Amino acid sequence: MKPRSELDAELREILGSDNLYFQPPASVKLHYPCIIYSLSRINSRKANNHFYFGHKKYDIQVIDKDPDSTIPEALLEHFPMCSYDRTFVSDNLNHFNLSLYY
């Protein structure tokens, strides 16, 4: 499994800014557009009673004022194991939810 620091660097590059947050507490003031991500689960395969390989699943939320944000598309193009889940609007901000196995 790759370390989270590598994922962090790739997400920052796609976003083009430092508005990237990993499991932020409620006290953190967000700056938009941003990406919030958190570890959701770890899928693992075992062979001969040993860990063989695995992928970490991250829940990714892109928050942007622009309803036509290109960030979700860039994530889908960059990561082959990324899928789009849903979109919703809250407080005039567009939330794009994706799942990523990394």
The average pLDDT across 68-97 equals: 97
Q: Which run of H or of E encompasses 28? A: none
CA distances from 58 to 8, 49, 50, 81, 87 (A): 11, 26, 24, 11, 17
Fold (topology level) of 4-101 = STM4215-like (3.30.2000)
Domain boundaries, the chain: 4-101
Given a contact cutoff of 8 angstroms between Cβ atoms, the answer to whether 37 and 61 are in contact is yes
The Cα 25–Cα 2 span in angstroms is: 24
pLDDT in the model for residue 47: 78
Per residue in 28-71, pLDDT tens?
999 999 999 999 998 887 778 877 777 899 999 999 999 999 99
